[in-house]
Structure 1
């Protein structure tokens, strides 16, 4: 695993915040001149660059992107990043290069079988490389790439979607089940689901580096090949099944994304997927949507 880059000093990040604010205002005029919609979260700019300024953007995302790019993955190059202390809901923005292609979600139906299989092979290979990374210090904590809290829409009871870190998988599991509720089901069904969830949590899993939010909107495709991974805010260290079971949450067998995830490594975690659905049922009332 490439070393994690140190962040710019806080004062420099504050100064860059003024520059990024200007670029966002410039983009509104730039998009108007070109006749394209202005997006306040993915700010379009000239010279092949974009400014990501959304509620989930954070400094750990910058570091995850730098690590992934240093490892040779097709990831946008970080040009600069900042902090906006006066914007509590969008405190960080990242200026980065634009990747070619379209989101897999938009082009999947137009892919040939050969292209689809090639993309699946590329995804399986890149994910396997990532999952074999080792941390500089021996630890089994569930955390971000830098050991801080993680951001995930798949974890219950987390305002702002940020929580953790946890020193072990056991602590992580205990946190998940602390939100178990029978509110949306019978008490008998809740007890059955709780027993199944504890079956999943009774087995120790390797903690591996994961995307944290694997979905077709975060995979870029160009000319039938994977051209990039975008949106690294949830990346970090999770139990090895996490990327696949969360990617399949609420998916039906037979839907193309279900089959795609299974073909890229998810088939090894079918048991974990079935058991993880019980955790979702028990805690869905506390998910911070």
Structure 2
């Protein structure tokens, strides 16, 4: 609690400095001594620091080392060691064939490790420890937890309701599966969240939206916003390689919602 109070005062006093010097990106501040402070404000969802520690404990996925994960009222703080590497979004087009293949192989291993984690919440779609989750594909606000995939799918339909007619929504809902496995999911495996050096992944970051989701959701999220426009076709193929399973039908059904909506997600 004391550390949370100190960090809260620090943010108030020093935040303007990091903003004007360009060393803050959104809620992320790059501090001296190789530290990073991430600040969020969604108290109903799982703490990202706890998620990172959970992943570190149960997998070999490289993640930032958390020094402190604390909270002060509605503010969440994650103090981490900074990982120095290249953002994959910036360097993907410059990597050679072997380096790309190595990255895809590593990501596939990571996805399989996450999927091997058994949910203690049965069929529920939720964040770590059964909390609500936040998924920018669905809403900018916390959602769930949901009793099962059917309830989660109903949420997707509700999000689309202002933009599509009831007949279309009913047709789409009838083709949405309710029987996927529920697996632990990063839920934002985009190149901007992967730090590399050549063909080696140094860290996967931004675990805020992670949780227990239907197994196709990793694919849907990765395909939703994979690269800045125009999309890189090599990366689109890579997604299909590092996320095992055939989720094309699930994704195309989902596109019938997302592609016909404006500003809903």
TM-score (normalizing by structure 1): 0.79
Q: Show the counterpart of 2:175.
A: 199
Partner-residue secondary structure (3-state), 2:76? coil
Q: Show the counterpart of 1:5.
A: none
Q: Show the counterpart of 1:50.
A: 36
* Count of residues in correspondence between the two structures: 258
Residue segments in structure 1 that go unaligned for 5+ positions in a row: 1-11
* Deviation (angstroms), 1:283: 5.7
Is 1:235 paired with 2:210?
yes
* Deviation (angstroms), 1:98: 0.9
Q: Show the counterpart of 2:4.
A: 17
Equivalent runs, 1:120-199 vs 2, <5 Å: 120-135=104-119, 137=120, 139-156=122-139, 160-181=140-161, 183=163, 191-192=167-168, 194-199=170-175
Between the aligned partners of 1:282 and 1:220, the Cα distance in structure 2 is: 33
* Deviation (angstroms), 1:282: 5.8
1:222 to 197, 209, 230: 197
Conservation of the 8 A alpha-carbon contact between 2:183 and 2:213: yes
Is 1:280 paired with 2:258?
yes
* Deviation (angstroms), 1:113: 0.8
Residue segments in structure 2 that go unaligned for 5+ positions in a row: none
* Deviation (angstroms), 1:39: 0.8
Is 1:76 paired with 2:64?
yes
Is 1:62 paired with 2:49?
yes
Between the aligned partners of 1:182 and 1:266, the Cα distance in structure 2 is: 34
1:112 to 89, 92, 96: 96
Is 1:37 paired with 2:25?
no
Conservation of the 8 A alpha-carbon contact between 2:47 and 2:76: no
Between the aligned partners of 1:109 and 1:253, the Cα distance in structure 2 is: 11
* Deviation (angstroms), 1:265: 1.9
Between the aligned partners of 1:93 and 1:276, the Cα distance in structure 2 is: 34
